A and B are shown apart, each in its own frame.
Chain A
Amino acid sequence: MNLRTLLEEKKSSIVKKWVHVIFEQYPPDSTNFFLTQKDRFLNPVGHAISEGARDIFNALVDDSEPEKFYPLLNDIIKIKAVQDFSPSVAISFLFLLKKVIRVEAGAEIARRNLTPELEALESRIDQLILLSFDIYSKFRERIFEIKNDEFRRMTFRLLQRANLICEIEGEKTTPGEETVITNK
């Protein structure tokens, strides 16, 4: 038996445990809501994290290409980036996976001498963590961008009226994308 079949076998308990520890990072009174409300529209946070965790785990077990992980991590981190998590906590859910795997399957792995395979898996999780850093910063940056865009939309006409900006002829004039040149 290799690690892959072992993890396949223990998939449901590992994913369940993992999702659980992720939600333990929320106020305990809310953990229950996130875990039990199964409607994806009435509980988008719970849905994104439960589904995302399952898919990430499957992709890891299937040894998928890194590109496959990108949208999965995206969906989770997008949400975490607007909740009041510090960056370290926001992406700590991947560290938690390592621990959950060791707790749930550690003994068996040692017994079957699969430790080298586990180490390989863990280093792949480490890569995901690095990727998560990038994604997290991307979304934080995105928040500042949209703030900026909103501000520009609000003030575009004002600046235009005050002759502080001019539109470059022939360019698209969607606010937020136009080139801004101050006259001063």
Chain B
Amino acid sequence: MAVQKPEELSKVVYTFPSTPWMDTPVEIKKGIFCWGNKEKSLKAVGFPNPRQWSVTDEDWKLPDNWKEIFIEGLRERVDKYRSFRLFLDICVRCGACADKCHFYIGGGDPKNMPVLRAELLRSIYRKYCTTSGKIMGKVAGARELTTSVIKELWYYAYQCTECRRCSLFCPYGIDTAEITILIRELVNLLGLNIEWIAGPVANCWKTGNHMGLLPHTIIDIVSEFKEAIYQVTGLKVDLSYNRKGAEILFVHPSGEYFDPNGNVTFMGYMMLFHEIGLDVTLSTYSSEGGNFGFFTSNEMAKRLHSKIYAEAKRLKVKWILGGECGHMWRVWHQYHNTWFGPVDYLEEPVSPITGTKFENAKSNKIVHITEFTADLIRHGKLNLDPKRNDKYVVTFHDSCNTSRAMGLFEEPRYIIKNVCNNFYEMPPQTIRENTFCCGSGSGLNASENMELRLRGALPRGNAVRHVRDKFGVNTLANICQIDRATLQTLVDYWAKGVAVRGVHELVGNALVMKGEKERTTDLRGDPLPGKEGE
């Protein structure tokens, strides 16, 4: 066999088919996809068509009437969501979104251009829901729904992190997240999900949290946190669970019980609550702020989060405080009130320490922890010693959901600037509303899709590396548990030497507590600046 020249070799392997995208069948690649759901995970919550299937099999064992199910589902949804119908109708394919997706930037797969990702479904919509598509077919941009198309839709719907960066640049505000959310709903009707999402959903349904932590386990873990805080501060900090009559119910992502970066963030909350004497309780029944149900279907999201309000009612609290989490806040901020409102059994949130009324949360009665803490600092209610964080040169990663679905930019920055002395921003085109996703959001934080995640994280990792090299940044602060768990892995690859920390970890370090002993270490047990020898 003649040895190929490199150029030819690459041509053979990598020439993208010159056929139009519609005629280019999907090639499902390892490292990109997540494992398909297990039968039992769908059964646990009563999702349709549960069965054992495998992504790598040729036959995905679709139900006999799969086509009917999909098309009926599509027709139903374009009559329920104006966003969906409009976004399928009005795209002019101007290409403004094409290079805004982190997966496209890092990988170059054309079907990761937001416009094309949406066209995958639009072509089906045209074929089965519009007159011109029915008559004109391909000329009108319509195509037949086949099993190969179903695979393609599934494959690319789980390559979008619903970060909404493309939506910011679209002249009509077309939001790919909206399309992805509904494609996932549609394939879910056929029993096609990913285990990394379906598993946590099933857990959350039964045990109240994605991790499947049982009540005594949570109590156990928290007692370890108490011990750790005692070691650092010499103070016995308490935290109550399922306590009736508390003023505030605190709900946070359960990942913080497990992930080491999350652990210290949680300890930061505990210390803060203790220091200001907040009358707060948590719940083991409603022990999840995040919502993987949101990554399967709207209804499932609502089913999981109904627990939060049910528990607030049962415990007779006045209002709800939410921890640091990204997609949790997308759901809390943009969906909760509509699902569960009017929330008239709770009271309009007022900070018991400063008396500040949280006007922006007066209807659904939930306040973000950084809003709460920023208000405390503003009123001088916290004794802070930012020097304790002097070993950290900090930058802040804006999480997609709190950025483009909420606009929470200044509150976390205000806190960081009060608890740290060294803060540097990443380049402006990569932060705030322009922020780049961690590449693992919307339930894609599995490990079998690591190549996908690494590509998706390249734009973010590259900006982190830039500030690491330029300013010596060694800490990536953020307000999202998925960031803390996954971005750590991704910066370990792209910008080694940077630790990912929650904002309230930094607060916990800087917080000077009444009656504490002289601290020699930070919350992770590392010596404080100037205490290295001790």
Chain A residues in the interface with B (C-beta under 8 A): 21, 24-30, 33-34, 37, 39-45, 78-79, 82-86, 88-89, 92, 95-96, 99, 142-143, 146-147, 149-151, 153-154, 156-158, 161, 173-175
A75 to B105, CA, bound (A): 16
A37 to B192, CA, bound (A): 37
**Minimum C-beta distance from B210 to chain A (A):** 12
A interface footprint on B449-468 (CB within 8 Å = 1, 0 otherwise): 01100110011001100100
Inter-chain contact A149/B429, CB cutoff 8 Å: no
**How many inter-chain contacts with C-beta < 8 Å in the A-B complex?**
135
A153 neighbours in B (Cβ, 8 Å): 259-261, 485, 488
**Minimum C-beta distance from B96 to chain A (A):** 13
A65 to B260, CA, bound (A): 42
**Minimum C-beta distance from B525 to chain A (A):** 7
A151 neighbours in B (Cβ, 8 Å): 447
Inter-chain contact A44/B106, CB cutoff 8 Å: yes
A34 neighbours in B (Cβ, 8 Å): 108
Inter-chain contact A33/B107, CB cutoff 8 Å: no
Q: Looking at the complex, which one of B9, B485, B486 makes contact with A92 (CB distance below 8 Å)?
A: B9
Check A29/B16 contact, CB under 8 A, given A146-B493, A150-B447, A154-B258.
Answer: yes
A interface footprint on B484-508 (CB within 8 Å = 1, 0 otherwise): 0110111011100000000000000
A156 neighbours in B (Cβ, 8 Å): 260
**Residue among B110, B450, B454, B485 with the highest chain A CB neighbour number at 10 A:** B454
B14 neighbours in A (Cβ, 8 Å): 25-27, 85, 89
Inter-chain contact A41/B220, CB cutoff 8 Å: no
Inter-chain contact A44/B459, CB cutoff 8 Å: yes
A161 neighbours in B (Cβ, 8 Å): 217, 220-221
A88 to B221, CA, bound (A): 48
B438 neighbours in A (Cβ, 8 Å): none
Check A45/B106 contact, CB under 8 A, given A39-B429, A84-B451, A153-B485.
Answer: yes
Smallest CB gap from B462: residue in A:
A44
Smallest CB gap from B262: residue in A:
A153
Inter-chain contact B105/A43, CB cutoff 8 Å: yes
B6 neighbours in A (Cβ, 8 Å): 88-89, 92, 95-96, 99
Inter-chain contact B10/A25, CB cutoff 8 Å: yes
A interface footprint on B15-35 (CB within 8 Å = 1, 0 otherwise): 110100000000001011000
> What are 26 A-B interface contacts by the 8 Å CB criterion?
A24-B10, A25-B10, A27-B16, A30-B108, A39-B429, A41-B427, A41-B459, A41-B462, A41-B463, A42-B99, A42-B105, A44-B462, A78-B493, A83-B107, A92-B7, A146-B493, A147-B450, A150-B488, A153-B259, A153-B260, A157-B263, A161-B217, A161-B220, A161-B221, A174-B260, A175-B260
A150 to B458, CA, bound (A): 18
* B interface SS class: helix
For the complex of A and B, list the 6 residue pairs with the smallest distance between their C-beta atoms, beginning with the closest.
Answer: A27-B16, A30-B108, A92-B6, A95-B6, A44-B462, A82-B454
Q: Looking at the complex, which one of B15, B98, B447, B458 makes contact with A79 (CB distance below 8 Å)?
A: B458
A150 to B409, CA, bound (A): 28
* Interface status of B104 (Cβ within 8 A of chain A): yes
**Minimum C-beta distance from B257 to chain A (A):** 8
**Minimum C-beta distance from B19 to chain A (A):** 12
Check A157/B459 contact, CB under 8 A, given A82-B451, A84-B29.
Answer: no
Q: Looking at the complex, which one of A84, A89, A96 makes contact with B31 (CB distance below 8 Å)?
A: A84
**Minimum C-beta distance from A48 to chain B (A):** 8
Inter-chain contact B259/A40, CB cutoff 8 Å: no
Inter-chain contact B5/A99, CB cutoff 8 Å: yes
Smallest CB gap from A145: residue in B:
B492
Chain B positions 239-275 with a Cβ under 8 Å from a chain A Cβ: 257-261, 263
Inter-chain contact A143/B493, CB cutoff 8 Å: yes
**Residue among A27, A37, A88 with the highest chain B CB neighbour number at 10 A:** A27
A146 to B457, CA, bound (A): 14
Inter-chain contact A143/B447, CB cutoff 8 Å: no
A29 to B109, CA, bound (A): 9
**Minimum C-beta distance from B101 to chain A (A):** 11
Check A42/B429 contact, CB under 8 A, given A34-B108, A84-B31, A143-B450.
Answer: yes
